[in-house]
Amino acid sequence: MLDYIKGEIAELTPASVVVETGGIGYLAHISLNTYSAIGSLKTCKLFVYESIREDAHQLFGFLEKRERELFLHLISVSGVGANTARMVLSSIAVYELESIITSGNVNALKAVKGIGNKTAERIIIDLKDKVKISGTTVAASNVVLSEAAREAVSALTMLGFNQLASQKIVNKIYSEKPALNVEDIIKNALKML
């Protein structure tokens, strides 16, 4: 099984990317979160999942191992296929999805296109013990925000984004790059929301 592909981005759409390495272009299906993260890059490293069936041989690409692990958990749930799992990961950030599953928030999952009440409940029941909120998420929630970060959260909320989701994204950005000004924090957050 392939673990990752590293190379030049030959083509990029919101649903797929072609990564060229060794003279071969690999088409990988991606989530919108991965698309946003690699949109401005010339090269990338994608962790992949190889799906081999009678009628299709597909690659699914993920910027982080954590996203791939969550994808694998989702497709292990009865009734959730690869495209549905990709839709969930496109609609909800990885750390937020982990939180939704561990807290049992069925309504947040039902908000994803193609996920009904029964599927949302099945995802939560099947994955509640498998998915743990990672240490980076917990650490990010304990960050004391600067004035710029607080202003960024306020601006994102005024733009109509969920305050909790905005807070988590800004916490993550601020913990990685504390010197950013308000505008740069907002630009980075908009790419991730």
Q: For the chain, give the mean pLDDT.
A: 85
Token output for 91:
């609609």
Task: Read off the pLDDT of each residue in 56-65 and give the average, rounded to a whole number.
Answer: 93
Select the more confidently predicted residue: 78 or 113. 78
Task: Tell me, yes or no, if the pTM score tops 0.75.
Answer: no
The full set of domains in the chain, from first to last, is 4-62 (2.40.50.140), 65-133 (1.10.150.20), 142-188 (1.10.8.10)
Task: Read off the pLDDT of each residue in 80-92 and give the average, rounded to a whole number.
Answer: 91
What pLDDT score does 65 carry?
Answer: 93
Whether the predicted pLDDT of 104 surpasses 80 = yes
What pLDDT score does 135 carry?
Answer: 42
CA-to-CA distance for 173 and 193, rounded, in angstroms? 12
Task: Read off the pLDDT of each residue in 43-51 and give the average, rounded to a whole number.
Answer: 95
Nearest to 125 by CA among 65, 90, 73: 73
CA distances from 60 to 9, 16, 94, 153, 171 (A): 15, 9, 16, 32, 28
CA-to-CA distance for 7 and 136, rounded, in angstroms? 27
* Beta-bridge partner residues of 12: 17
Longest CA–CA span in the chain (Å) reads 55
Whether the predicted pLDDT of 73 surpasses 90 = yes
Whether the predicted pLDDT of 139 surpasses 60 = no
Select the more confidently predicted residue: 103 or 4. 4
Task: Read off the pLDDT of each residue in 56-70 and give the average, rounded to a whole number.
Answer: 93
Q: Decide: 109 and 123 in contact? Cβ < 8 Å.
A: yes
